[in-house]
Amino acid sequence: MKRIIAYAMSGAAALLCGCSGVSVTQEMKENASFEGLTKIYIEQPVGAAEIFAANGSLERANEELVGAIAANLAEKGFARVENKADAQIIFRPLWNSSYKQPEFDSVGAQTRSTGVGDNVSSQLYAMLEIQAILPESGDIWSWRGFSPELMSPASFTSGNIAEQVRWCLEYFPPEKNPDKLGEIKKERREREIKAEQNPYKEVLIKEREKRESL
The domain locations on the chain are 4-176
Q: Which CATH class is domain 4-176?
A: alpha beta
Q: Which secondary structure element, helix H or strand E, spans residue 4, and what is its range? A: strand 4-10
- Residue 12, SS3? coil
Is there a cis peptide before residue 173, judged by omega within 30 degrees of 0? yes
Residue 138 burial by Cβ neighbours in a 10 Å radius (0-12, 13-18, 19+): exposed
CA 168 to chain centre: 6
Q: For 112-162, give the DSSP string.
A: E--SSSSSGGGGEEEEEEEEEE-TTT--S-SEEEEEEEEE-GGG--HHHHH
The per-residue pLDDT string of the chain (214 residues; one tens digit each, 9 = 90 and over) reads 444 444 433 333 333 333 333 445 788 888 889 999 999 999 999 987 777 766 667 788 889 999 999 999 999 999 999 999 999 999 999 998 877 654 444 444 433 433 333 444 457 788 899 999 999 888 899 999 999 888 877 777 788 889 999 999 998 998 887 665 556 566 666 776 776 776 665 665 666 666 656 5
Q: Which amino acid is at 55?
A: N
Helical ranges in the chain per DSSP H:
49-52, 58-75, 158-169, 178-197, 201-213
